[in-house]
Amino acid sequence: QVQLVESGGGLVQAGGSLRLSCAASKSIFSMNAIAWYHQAPGNQREFVARIDSDGVSKYGDSVKGRFTISTDTSKNTGYLQMNSLKPEDTGVYYCNANFGNVGSRWGQGIQVTVSS
């Protein structure tokens, strides 16, 4: 079955950038929509961004103007470009993608740490 593999996390200083990737393990199954969620230490999981099958994107208030969500159809991969990172962005990021009849899948989660 299709799986989502996340990569691109790490440790950066405030003001830095990271680019997270969310790649489907099998190209047979096409992503219809992708969303990203953030879970800060001790907090609930929060919505970050999403992009639908028509390319329409939406962002959480805390990341507007700083993060950009995108997809590469040829690679069956979703991305989250994270700029001007803040310590508050620290936490685990999860991607979620819909594959039509196959259903939805979650990525394994990836750690992002932003130091002051």
Per-residue pLDDT tens over the stretch 29-71? 888 899 999 999 999 999 999 999 899 999 999 999 999 999 9
**Residue closest to 31 by CA, chosen among 58, 3, 11, 60:** 3
Q: Answer whether 33's CB lies under 8 Å from 52's CB.
A: yes
Q: What is the mean pLDDT of the chain?
A: 94
Distance CA 20, CA 35 (A): 12
